[in-house]
Structure 1
């Protein structure tokens, strides 16, 4: 997902169009009852690559049977589409709009990438769609500890929730610290940890459409902010940044 975000960002900043292809691979949905061995052809053994000829540049990003194309030469992009179709039988889905659960919304001043559908599906799955919203990802008044609270009878419920929240950090950087913090209790999760996980859901409920806005202004300067809390961890007394 880092590669996908980077590719989208560069395309938006450079004013390039993004296209999406889908490969017709029926075997991906079949059941295999026998042992299968295969060797990947040398020319296909990369997940992403770029092809440069003269002043033209074309980027190809591949995830299983989903493909993103972008570049500076529309003629070469169309030529590549035709070549891929001859080799693999592809569906040309046009401009990039939905890739690996991330929605790509083109606006006049840039692109918004979000996981709105994934957000609403998760809220429904964990029965939090109509819950009271929270204004922060975690309750700042509560310090979670590794050994406080009753052990969960079924830890898989907690692990499933945090695992899905991990996927959210692709477009919701505002919950990145909270999810990383809750990841520390995956081995022996307890009631307070699960409660904190549901608190994150209540925060997501506040605005399921929120995502990352990528401005089409050419500036590529990165601004970073850091806040440190001295000896904040209640288990190790280490500082948290």
Structure 2
């Protein structure tokens, strides 16, 4: 196995057109790939040297829920999303259709300074992790991340709007379908001088490899 140069928790092996990928996090291991015989041999090797247990197909890992079916693999963070809503007392909130009001332009110092800045920072940090399976909130979370130093009540209200949007479909995630190839789809956009205080453009992109919003 070769250790990935960009992530030292990831190991891989490519041979004869097949691959094996191994991910390690503390005491948890994920093994996947197209080389089934090689995966079996790797498991036997690990079992012979470490006290390990095969838990079968992956279902839950680091807050990410994994469901496998004939349509493909769906990853979502429903429990994680519901935990955020519960922590912020938003479980009974009214769902909204957009993660951010397009007519609202947030500015530094917009409104009264929040008495508990750490609450805002914790929330944005959790929403950042949720974007792993929810690219639809990436833009809103990116905008809100610009105000971590001195968040105000208007910024908090915008964050609450994101939570109300999540409440609309907390189990939404990504579907990785098996179509016999890795289809790569890319999207990019820019708002062209959309920043109201320095007139800079905000651009963004999203690359999906065999994945669709589910």
Quote how far apart the aligned CAs of 1:148 are.
1.6
1:102-117 aligned within 5 A: 102-117=64-79
Aligned to 2:44: 82
Aligned to 2:166: 204
Aligned to 2:24: 62
CA contact (8 A) 2:110 2:155 kept: no
TM-score of the superposed pair, with normalisation by structure 2: 0.85
Mark the structure with the bigger radius of gyration: 1
Looking at structure 2, the residues matched to 68 and 117 of structure 1 have their Cα atoms a distance apart, in angstroms, of 20
Where in structure 1 are there 5+ consecutive unaligned residues? 1-44
Quote how far apart the aligned CAs of 1:79 are.
2.7
Quote how far apart the aligned CAs of 1:103 are.
0.9
Q: What is the Cα-based RMSD across aligned positions, in Å?
A: 1.8
Looking at structure 1, the residues matched to 38 and 12 of structure 2 have their Cα atoms a distance apart, in angstroms, of 12
Looking at structure 2, the residues matched to 199 and 60 of structure 1 have their Cα atoms a distance apart, in angstroms, of 38
User: Are 1:130 and 2:130 matched, yes or no?
Assistant: no
Where in structure 2 are there 5+ consecutive unaligned residues? 1-6, 204-214
Alignment match of 1:188 (pick from 130, 150, 162): 150
Partner SS for 1:227: strand
- Higher mean C-alpha displacement, 137-146 vs 222-231: 222-231
Alignment match of 1:179 (pick from 124, 141, 146): 141
TM-score of the superposed pair, with normalisation by structure 1: 0.76
Looking at structure 1, the residues matched to 103 and 111 of structure 2 have their Cα atoms a distance apart, in angstroms, of 16
TM-aligned CA distance change 1:76 to 1:189, over 3 Å: same
User: Are 1:97 and 2:59 matched, yes or no?
Assistant: yes
Q: Could you report, residue by residue, the CA deviation over 1:128-177 in whole angstroms, capped at 9, with x for unpaired residues?
A: 01101111111112110012200011100100100100000100000011
* Larger relative contact order, structure 1 or 2 (CA cutoff 8 Å, min sep 6): 1
Looking at structure 1, the residues matched to 168 and 98 of structure 2 have their Cα atoms a distance apart, in angstroms, of 10
